[in-house]
A and B are shown apart, each in its own frame.
Chain A
């Protein structure tokens, strides 16, 4: 764990959800992508130099339970809203990556004014049969690593089991995180968000890894065309779907510039 990170919990639907906090300055929330946040990352350290970074875990993601209570998209939206509010992110800027992007985008649209500026890193939520996102739920063992990051080793290192943790529970936690995302996105990742993008009035930065092998870059244009607020797109070279893991410095720089 990086120095200076504090761990607290908030309750959502009666279940504890872990909240990691580090840094100083205005609040900045971060909802991680597929697999959640098994460990603190260099990307968050970079953000924490200028902002107070708050990284809560959605139900079922590492450090949080209760995903199996959530059956509908409304359940997930309410859980996300409650989580963000309880960890003090009402009115704050928010970054949401990959699978979490689908929920953050809807929270921004359904509760206008609840969030300030929005950054979406290769978000889920839309689906185009002519240009389908990769089926992340149907992958051969070990293959997901190479899909999520430009270099498979990057993701492998990200989810590597620390010596201090029970290996079985570590594996269970990772599977649970994948399940939690599947619970609101299976099978296509389409949450019907397309019909609600026009409700999003927040200034929104879209960030995409140039080598994203999960979510085609073409989806960025759909988000930009649909979102009612001002949008910008930053494409990160030498980065895959979880661009903040592949290229922490360029992604953090783009976001901090957007937020200044």
Chain B
């Protein structure tokens, strides 16, 4: 199994009364709350943490893209990834994503990822999320009704730009470019592995299966909520006659590990409550612009809501509260997996087998966690949890969706951390 260290880069100094002062952490968060001098320290801490994770032996370090967002300060993941390409040597650089529809022409995405693949010696995982409605429609003003059509076309464009060995014309519905010629070319052939973060729509599952892309379920609500999504994904994979290789899937889990469970409960209370209390304070007005959800997804959700309403009226309510903000509820609901190394390893093994995920992304920094605590969490995970999990799946399955870097003798002799 691959163990991947994921950073959101949250602003760590949102005020205690943030929920009362601001209507949302996203889109209309008060710009005056951002202190650039503190931002300087945060970015450098965060990049130190990513680099430290690489030295600890994580298979990948992961960056992602958010805009106008107080809990995700990477509007350009490529900027961070390009720096990490220089400062790390072996870990994969998992860029989740670029939101392709935001960039027209998507040539820029193809070029930048190819650059990072070259700089890193072929270590890029190219993530292409459709992007959240907040990031795409509200922060970037993209039309929700055309977003997916642009997105699919953008990925098609990038694949062609990476793989075609001649200058070509792309006369798409949205992108029209007379001369497409991405220079440099990515090291990995035919192209870096493509991973698709998704929210659980059947169309995305089918799209990933048909194109042989990895499907990643990235949720902040842990393994319990993920079951329905991942079971649905595997059912669709089976229906399509594809092999159920766990490396077709990725999943994100918050983890806080310490020498004992008691210590973990003490250490991770504040950052968890900070994240779920302040960072996830998102105004519902930014959640569903018309057209963002496909009609198939609307049908499925309305149906699910009706079933849930029927269940509640029959006396059985939902088992997961997605609004928990107290640490006990956060842990009980499985948002954050907390415990001793053995407890965490046992649970993650169980989760990985249950969900069938070979790519486990771990949020070991969350909320306002300090660099010291983050590095402690990272180190103890690497030393005591990772060895208990690394062998999972490898006796049965090959990861066809992993990086293919240049052999070491061909790699640049850069001064790097690990």
Contacts and interface: CB of A to CB of B under 8 A. Distances in A.
Given A182-B291, A186-B145, A175 B298 contact: yes
Nearest to A179: B291
B290 interface: yes
Contacts of A175: 290, 293, 295, 298
A168 B303 contact: yes
A172 B289 contact: no
A241 interface: no
A176 B295 CA distance: 8
A138 B143 contact: no
A257 interface: no
Contacts of A138: 138, 285-286, 289
Contacts of A168: 299, 302-303, 306
Contacts of B137: 137, 186-187
A157 interface: no
Interface string A183-198: 1001100000000000
Contacts of B144: 137, 179, 182, 186
Interface in B92-151: 137-138, 141, 143-146, 149
B297 to A, nearest CB: 10
Interface residues of B, number: 24
Given A68-B145, A140-B284, A186-B137, A179 B290 contact: yes
Contacts of A141: 284
A167 B286 contact: no
Contacts of B32: none
Given A182-B143, A186-B145, A140 B298 contact: no
A95 to B, nearest CB: 24
Between B143, B291, B306, the greatest number of chain A beta carbons within 10 A of the residue's beta carbon is seen for: B291
A135 B78 CA distance: 32
A137 B291 CA distance: 10
Contacts, number: 66
Interface string A139-173: 11101000000000000000000000001100110
A141 B301 CA distance: 15
Nearest to B134: A138
A81 to B, nearest CB: 21
B145 A182 contact: yes
Contacts of A143: 285
Contact of A183 (B284, B286, B291, B306): B291
Nearest to A187: B141
Between B173, B283, B286, B302, the greatest number of chain A beta carbons within 10 A of the residue's beta carbon is seen for: B302
Contacts of B145: 67-68, 179-180, 182-183, 186
Interface in A105-138: 137-138
A176 B144 CA distance: 12
A158 B302 CA distance: 20
A71 interface: yes
Contacts of B141: 186-187
B172 to A, nearest CB: 11
Contacts of A172: 295, 298-299, 302
A183 B143 contact: yes
Nearest to A180: B145
A171 B291 contact: no
B170 interface: no
Contacts of A68: 145, 149
Interface of A: 67-68, 71, 137-141, 143, 167-168, 171-172, 175-176, 178-183, 186-187
Given A168-B302, A178-B291, 9 more contacts: A71-B146, A71-B174, A137-B144, A137-B289, A140-B285, A181-B290, A182-B291, A183-B291, A186-B143
Nearest 9 pairs between A and B by C-beta?
Answer: A179-B291, A178-B290, A183-B145, A179-B290, A138-B285, A186-B143, A187-B141, A140-B285, A140-B284
